Structures are given as structure tokens and as C-alpha cells.
Structure 1
Amino acid sequence: MATRRLMLLGAPGAGKGTQAQLLMQELGLPQVSTGDILRAAVKEGTPLGLEAQSYMNRGALVPDAVVVGLIEDRLARPDAGGGWILDGFPRTPAQAEALDGLLAHLAQSLEAVVLIDVPEAQLIERLTGRRTCPLCKRIFHVRFNPPPAAPPFCTDHTDCPSELVQRPDDTLEVVSKRLNVYRESTEPLIRYYQEQQKLTSVDGDRSPEVVYSELRELLG
């Protein structure tokens, strides 16, 4: 039986979002994103959303109990009954234990955890090479998807006459910090799922199409 409840792990720039989108399109599974759930709950003014907003307004981290409650509400919806793709949660072994508890309550289980593994040098190149158009928000890459007009403009001067910019969170200094945080927080999580024999990995240092082909083969 094909895996229908899974989580994708990977550093910033590993391509988790791309692979999740491909899985959603082919399998029809909802992507359960912590960020999306938080924003939706705040916008809808749900009790958990209002509680989360009280922390966010202070610049504080939303407590695990609130996040877990929001995740449980989302996984209990009808469209998630046939499976889901977790994105952005859990981030720590404590959150992983909480996830195990809520899935047991829902009579569900996490069937697979897939680590998209990419060398750090490649991650840095992917992230620091991104350039964004401040007008139309299109994203390019100086090597992998260069802009059509030079100097680096989005298209041509009549269509979108804006010079591309590097976002502050794509600078080398910020990218290096993000990767350090990822390493420190995710390594214990990787060990947690290795011990549960749920973790598998794919080589993410290839084209999205090749990575997806291997991912689908792993999931059955």
C-alpha cells in the first residue's frame, strides 16, 4: 500500500516545497504547513488562533501545546482523512513526541519521514544566488534560472522595468546562520525517527524531476 501520511525533512534550499507540490498534484494530498495553519487560524479568529496571535504580537515563540492543537484540528478535517504531507512540524524531538500522541488520538500514524539531503555548499549556492523582482515578485537565480535581461532585470524595460534584488534573508551571513540553526535543531529529530525506523533519505543534489522519481519509488 502506498504511503499516504508523510513528512519531508531538509535544510532551507533543499527543495522540500517543490517536492511537496509535486506530491500534492499527483496524489491529491493536502500539504499541512505550520505557517499556513497559524496564519489561517489568526485570520479566522479561532480560540487557538487568538492565543497564538497573543504570542506572535509579542515576538515570542508560539508554545508547542498551541501549535499541536492547531495541527490536530487540521489533520481532523475531512480532506486530510486520506493522507497528508507535513511541512515545518515537528522541529524538535519534544514536538515529535507530541505529534505521536495526537496521531494516536486521531487513530492515524506517520508512515514515513523522508530527508532530502543536499551538501551544504550546494545549499549556499542555491540560496545566495536567488534574486527577486520587487515589482512582480518573480524569483530568478543567477546560475540556475538567470533573468532574461541584462543587467539583471526581470524581463525588459517596458514589461517589468525593475532591477532584481537579493532579499536580506538570502545573504551569505543570514543563510549560514539559518543552516546552523537547521543543523542544531534537526539532527536530534533525525535520530528520533531513525530509532523509529521511519527515516529514509534521497539525494537532493539533482534535478527536481529526478529527486521526485526516486521519492515516488520510495513511497510506493
Structure 2
Amino acid sequence: MSKVLSNKSNLEVLFEDNHIIIVNKRAGDIVQGDKTGDKPLSDVVKAYIKDKYNKPGNVYLGTVHRLDRPTTGLIIFAKTSKVLPRLNKLFLSKEISKTYWAIVKNEPPKQEDTLVNWLVKNPKNNKSRAYFKEVPNSKKAILHYQVLKKLNNYYLLEVNLETGRHHQIRVQLSNIGCPIKGDLKYGFDRSNKDASISLHARHIEFIHPVKKESISINAPLPNDAIWNACLV
């Protein structure tokens, strides 16, 4: 169920029904408005719905979760106020399975592992720091990774989160010596040309909160040489 339904206004819609719309976020897009004043992805999706269905007045759209601005991949929005709390509940109860792909420079210490850290967010520099034991104001962070492929000079990792902390994948992988390609904030030595980081929300799976049908979607990878090599 990963057929692209629309590419209008550079919006890649991967799934849509009366209740939910799932899109493939591009690097640089912000999910919701912030102090930059840049047009958020939520507004782009609202404009798409308004145009497609010729809706008068304001369009409802509920934001269920977010991705960091330089990352790419799957984002779910609620099209009705009825379904938003149901989707929120699925996220809180971990009934929505999300899988990420990350390209890192260094080989991880193990081919697969579970990382457990305590993270402290510094709002002044919008950065988190990982500790191996609980410290004041820290939150426990757990992720599982495995190496999927060795690329030229890089490694492709699959990551599954148990918790959803600020910059969790970025800081936990950096903490084992594997900063994500392009992620200057967490220790990579140079930026990607498009200012992205090579972290992609690749797969999502859940039971539709209204129809009770299984939804399973892969987000196409960004179109560049290194991501393309992941599929060869």
C-alpha cells in the first residue's frame, strides 16, 4: 500500500481515505509552524485537501506526530477531529510500529543491539545529550538497531524505537560512534548538499482506528546516489 497518489505541489501522498492522510516528508519541510515563519507541511496538506475536494472554508487537519526538519519519511495526519484522539492513543500505547533507516559513517560495535540511555534536552541549543545512567531531568530512551547493509564508506542501519525522545535516534547513534550522515549537530564531519541528514522514516504499520484494517506503508527513499545504493 505504498503507491504514490499525488505529487501536486511537491506533496507525495502515500495513503488517503476519509479519516487519514499519510505523506512522505521531504528534507527541509517543517511539520508544524515555528518561529522561522516558513510554510509548514500541515498547511501544504490542508491546501491539497481543499483543492482536491473543492472544500469551502477552513480545512481540518490534526498533527499526530513530527519528524525533525532535516529528516525525511512518513508523516500521518488526521483528517477529522474524531480520528485524531484515536491516532494519538495508538501512538501512546505503541500500537503504531515505525521503522527508520539511517546511514552512518562508522561500523557499529555490534551488528544488532539495543541501546539504553538517559537523555537530557538542552532547549538553548535544541540538542540532547545521552548518559549511561539516570541523571537529573533525564528521560529513559530505548532503541533497537541492526545493520542492513555495508555501503561504500557507510553503513545502512534499521532502527526501531521503544521510546520517542527529542533527537533520540540521532543522539543515541552518535553516542556509540555512529553519527548520521550529514548530522553536524551530533558529530558528523560535513553536511549533506541539501542540508538533510540521512535519517528516513521508512515504514509504518498499524490497525486503522476506524476501519479496523491493517495499514502497512513504505516511504520511497530520497533520490540520491547513496540512498539509491541501499536498494541495489
Q: Relative to total residues, which structure has the larger helix share, 1 or 2?
A: 1
Larger radius of gyration between Structure 1 and Structure 2: 1
Q: Relative to total residues, which structure has the larger strand share, 1 or 2?
A: 2
What TM-score results when the alignment is normalised by the length of structure 1? 0.27
What TM-score results when the alignment is normalised by the length of structure 2? 0.26
